Chain A
């Protein structure tokens, strides 16, 4: 089932090392913006535009920032960072399938939630939707998430990684202590 922490931690560390050895540090949350941009640009083709010199820009200030690098990735989804995240989904699916899946109950909601808040799907979905919103808003405000800031950042001894981890655990631990008093 779940790997023991020594094997799992070593494997995870090797993947983070492999990424920085071969390409660049791992990061995920930017790709939520890129997917938003792709969807938005599909509906309204004027969101991302290419200038005569080949550079990209956007009517959205965030997509246009840093010389339009997000706008460029929106226009060309077949880039390293976006394909990386798509590959994560494929890797996760294959891994879960090979270990026999997670079972019908877990598909609906995790055991720890059920133990503390009952099995209302509505309640779980409402909480998780709000959480998703807050997490991605926070990750974009911070400029990275658990992967980019906490793991890749602290691995590189970057100051911002430590600041982020401090903030994340300062909020996460009290929240979990209050919410999850019963163990699954």
Chain B
């Protein structure tokens, strides 16, 4: 029962923060991806960095249970699936989580995305045996690996570097990049002046 309570609290907070940070607004996703407004990119990088520093720092201090880590396998399909997701994410401005939050905010097109998503997920369920057979799901570079070797973790390290220190270093790097990233990369379009 307590796990359900945690799901309600953390899930609720996640939905609210996605809404407030603008990640469920396709206009802000589109502007991030066409490189005309990188505020959301900065927020995402800062979030990953913050999470990383706190998690690995907490592990080193013995405050965070290493067993809570859940590392997904690496295989060619991860890249291929990333390409597909990236295309659809740019086209619609939604990813699975933000479509739910967008719909919750009253966006009707987000409901259409969810309908398409349920069909896409069903199509994967139907084609899973063929996908397995294709070799796309065969593990590469050890499968479930972290970049360094995290002490006491059940996952192998891609390198022998201390995984917790590397995690903190990379986390800090994400935070630095969030700060130095320019606000926009592409030039302002003439159309923007009229809006």
Residues of chain B contacted by A132 (CB below 8 angstroms):
88, 92, 94, 99, 112-120
Q: A16-B47, A159-B147, A166-B79 are in contact. Are A87 and B109 (CB under 8 A)?
A: no
Q: Which residue of B lies closest to A134 (CB)?
A: B88
Q: A141-B81, A142-B78, A156-B71 are in contact. Are A88 and B90 (CB under 8 A)?
A: no
Residues of chain B contacted by A33 (CB below 8 angstroms):
121, 124-125
Q: A5-B42, A8-B43, A62-B125 are in contact. Are A19 and B84 (CB under 8 A)?
A: no
Question: By the criterion CB–CB under 8 Å, are A143 and B73 in contact?
Answer: yes
Residues of chain B contacted by A81 (CB below 8 angstroms):
7
Q: Which residue of B lies closest to A94 (CB)?
A: B16
A-side interface mostly: helix
Residues of chain B contacted by A163 (CB below 8 angstroms):
74, 78-79, 82
Question: By the criterion CB–CB under 8 Å, are A36 and B4 in contact?
Answer: no
Contact of B147 among A6, A40, A157 (CB under 8 A): A157
Whether A106 is near chain B, meaning CB under 8 Å from some CB there, is: yes
Q: Which residue of B lies closest to A1 (CB)?
A: B22
Question: By the criterion CB–CB under 8 Å, are A89 and B100 in contact?
Answer: yes
> Closest CB of chain B to A6's CB: distance in Å?
7
Residues of chain A contacted by B186 (CB below 8 angstroms):
177
Residues of chain B contacted by A11 (CB below 8 angstroms):
17, 20-21
Residues of chain B contacted by A167 (CB below 8 angstroms):
78-83, 85-86
| Chain B residues within 8 Å of chain A by Cβ, number | 133
> Closest CB of chain B to A72's CB: distance in Å?
14
Question: By the criterion CB–CB under 8 Å, are A131 and B82 in contact?
Answer: no
Q: Which residue of B lies closest to A109 (CB)?
A: B109
Question: Which residues does B use to contact A, with CB under 8 Å?
Answer: 3-4, 6-22, 24-28, 30-31, 33-36, 39-40, 42-52, 54-55, 58, 63-64, 68-75, 77-110, 112-126, 128-129, 131-132, 136, 141-142, 144-148, 150, 155, 158, 163, 166-167, 170-171, 174, 178, 186, 188-189, 191-192, 195
Known contacts A87-B10, A180-B31; 5 additional CB pairs below 8 A are A60-B128, A129-B113, A130-B88, A135-B92, A156-B55
